[in-house]
Amino acid sequence: QVQLVESGGGLVQAGGSLRLSCAASERSFSSYAVGWFRQAPGKEREFVAAISWSSTDTAYKDSVKGRFTISRDNAKNTVFLQMNSLRPEDTAVYYCAARRYGIAHISPDQYDYWGQGTQVTVSS
């Protein structure tokens, strides 16, 4: 089983930036596609961004395109989400997820492993 740990969340002012990290416990993580999802209180978990195992393919939620960038360093078993120009609507718990396939996917039910989440709060 792959264990995932998110970090880097916090409180930031609108227009600011945060960089989230997702660290995996096993080297096999390098062959898995990884996604970032978020969930606000009372709302469904939603897709934010995803990346293929080799970083050759990425996908983003429309509202974060041009503001967020997903990347990975397979040698370090780590995936990142750089978030710029943050808005109050970005406030949520952010989760890292991995699937035992190399192709990125936007549906949370297609992912096999999940982290504990990290809180991102954007003030106005």
Q: How far apart are CA 81 and CA 3, in angstroms?
A: 18
For 14-30, what is each residue's pLDDT tens digit?
A: 999 999 999 999 888 99
- What pLDDT is stored for residue 26 in this prediction? 85
pLDDT at residue 110 tops 90: yes
Q: How far apart are CA 101 and CA 79, in angstroms?
A: 16
Mean pLDDT, residues 45-70: 97
Averaged confidence pLDDT in the chain: 96
- What pLDDT is stored for residue 117 in this prediction? 98
pLDDT at residue 1 tops 90: no
Contact 15, 84 (CB under 8 A): no
First-last CA distance in the chain: 40
Q: And the tokens for 86?
A: 């943050």
Mean pLDDT, residues 51-64: 96
One-character DSSP codes across 35-54: EEEEE-TTS--EEEEEE-TT
pLDDT at residue 116 tops 90: yes
pLDDT at residue 89 tops 90: yes
